Amino acid sequence: MYEIIDEDECNDTYGRYRMHKALVLKKEAKDGNFPHIPCERTVYRIMERLGIVHTPKRKPNGITKADSMKAGLCVDILKSAIIAYPGLRGAIIHSDRGSQYGDIS
């Protein structure tokens, strides 16, 4: 694990998943004597004991924020859809709360 971290200056940010994948790739690249690669959870425990566990500096925020969906906005979007596609019949309306993507022009 130390060898993988020393290969590149950005590798010190490897978490258990990326470290496990890097170990698997190393094993595939080497012939013969390479130790057994433990499961991801065991890799995490070993990293924890060695003191090389990456802890994110901040918690990432969501890409989108939930809008307060108003009934009038829904009606406006449906009216726009009827104007844009006048021959459309039997459509199923689905709301995934992605109102920030609705075009209300």
pLDDT in tens, 15-49: 888 888 988 888 888 766 777 888 888 988 988 89
CB atoms within 10 A of CB 99: 17
- Residue listed under structure tokens 């859809």: 81
* C-alpha dist (Å) from residue 87 to 3, 18, 38, 83, 104: 64, 51, 59, 9, 20
- Reported pTM: 0.47
Q: How confident is the model at residue 69 (pLDDT cuts 50, 70, 90)?
A: low
Spatial separation of the C-alpha atoms in residues 17 and 13, rounded to whole Å: 11
